[in-house]
Chain A
Amino acid sequence: MPARAARRRWSRAAWRRLALVLLWLGHGAWVLLGPDAGRTWTRTADTLALPAQGAARQWEGWRSRRRDDSRSLQDLQAENARLAGDLAALRLRDAQEAPRLAEAEEALRVLGLRKLIPLELSAARVLYSTRPAAFGGLILDQGRDHGLVEDQGVLAPEGIVGRIWSVGPTQAKVLPVDAPNASVAVMLIRSRATGVLQGLGASRAHIRYVSNQEVVQPGEAVLTSGLDRVFPRGLLVGHVVRVERGELELELTVQLAAPLDRVSTVLLLPSQPPLEVQQPFVQPEQPKPASRKKGTP
């Protein structure tokens, strides 16, 4: 026991060295901790905890991703089926609404044309078209029951369509402008030369009785002249696409403006309309003022 006690007892030099170490470490700790020891320790603990916090974030992110990835395939298939059903329903509704939309757009255009022409116009629907057949035409949904008579002019927003050829009790047949037996009194918009339009089929026609002294260029608009008392003056018929000079007259080919194959709603002009209406269907092109060259007197 005394030997063990002697081993445990430190020498005075060891105690002094211990005191020195404690003094030095104590002062160092006191200095390093600074005036706000709590904040220092908190900051130190935060710094030491940064790796653990980062690892915890990584771990939580991995678990979340795995949870998201492990959703059952059946749920996904059910969701896909539901979305496919919704898409099909929307497409069906869109297809059902498309004719109504087209008809509404056509009605709006017809209404605009009706406001543009200061005549008492009535609207009619095209039931079907027999144009591909010989002497075919357009069948309207109105007849004598709505007061329709023969030789009434028929219009579309794009241009003239034809005239009423025959009238039944509830239906009427329209002779389109491009029919071989159809003729319309027309005039050219620049030269004001008049002629007679005769159909060639396939939305084309040619103009007769225009003198070869007239100057006509492709692209020139062709309007009704009103001389046939079916259409008033100034309604658009089409545009010249080919000009050839004959012996006595010009051979003019016209592309008709109205889409005769697609027209679904038309306007009916009154019988024997006035020759001139106040607002023409197409504003004639204003001639450009002659410009003088510089230096010329």
Chain B
Amino acid sequence: MRPLPPTVLRQNLLCAAGLAAVLLTSPFPSLQAVVHAALVLALAPRIGAPLSGALWALAAGWAVELSLRLPPHLGGTAWADLTVVLIAGWTAARWPLDGLKDWLARLAALAVLHVLLLHGMVRLAAGPHPWGWSWLWTLLSLPFWGWGVWRLLHPGSTTGRR
């Protein structure tokens, strides 16, 4: 049985909380990268409402970049977030989810795409830069935050096990 989509209010509230978490975790870049990925990949995309998800993703991207201590030419992260959230919304409408496993697998694929787009577009905007290890923490912690977001978005649904 496919899970029901969350209400608009609930998703927007969760996105606002995620955005606040992105701002609050700015002193800890690795943790901020995980929260940022969760907001862009899991919380913001919504079937049939790409504009709201795009705005949340843009807000998340600009929040991450504006929290940098030495800001280069900004905009690369926001552009990557916007692209990824549009792709995520399109895939969600194209291939509806069946359960938690599908959700985690799609999140993993989107996370890899997000990392590549993020670094490519930041390179276009600001030039070469060190990658760091945030992408690794994001991928390693994906099962945890993916499960958490699944439970927050679909509180009444099962884990997908049959």
List chain A positions with a Cβ less than 8 A from chain B: 16, 19-20, 23-24, 27-28, 30-32, 34-35
Contacts and interface: CB of A to CB of B under 8 A. Distances in A.
Given A16-B50, A20-B50, A20-B54, A31 B86 contact: no
A31 B124 contact: yes
Given A16-B50, A16-B51, A34 B58 contact: no
B82 to A, nearest CB: 6
Given A24-B82, A28-B79, A34 B125 contact: yes
Given A19-B51, A20-B54, A28-B79, A34 B73 contact: yes
A35 B75 CA distance: 11
Nearest to B127: A34
Interface of B is mostly: helix
Contacts of A31: 73, 75-76, 79, 121, 124-125
B110 interface: no
Given A31-B79, A34-B125, A23 B58 contact: yes
B83 to A, nearest CB: 7
B23 to A, nearest CB: 20
Interface in B109-154: 121, 124-126
B125 A23 contact: no
Given A16-B50, A27-B58, A27-B78, 11 more contacts: A19-B51, A20-B54, A23-B54, A24-B82, A27-B79, A27-B82, A30-B75, A30-B79, A31-B73, A34-B124, A35-B73
Contacts of A23: 54, 58, 82
A19 B78 CA distance: 15
Nearest to B121: A31
Contact of A27 (B73, B75, B126): B75
A19 B54 CA distance: 10
Contacts of A19: 51
B21 to A, nearest CB: 23
A32 B73 contact: no
A159 B9 CA distance: 131
Contacts of A20: 50-51, 54, 86
Interface in B48-64: 50-51, 54, 58
A24 B53 CA distance: 13
A23 B62 CA distance: 13
Contacts of A27: 58, 75, 78-79, 82
A31 B73 CA distance: 8
Contacts of B124: 31-32, 34
A97 to B, nearest CB: 77
A32 to B, nearest CB: 6
Nearest to B72: A35
A32 B122 CA distance: 10
Contacts of B125: 30-32, 34
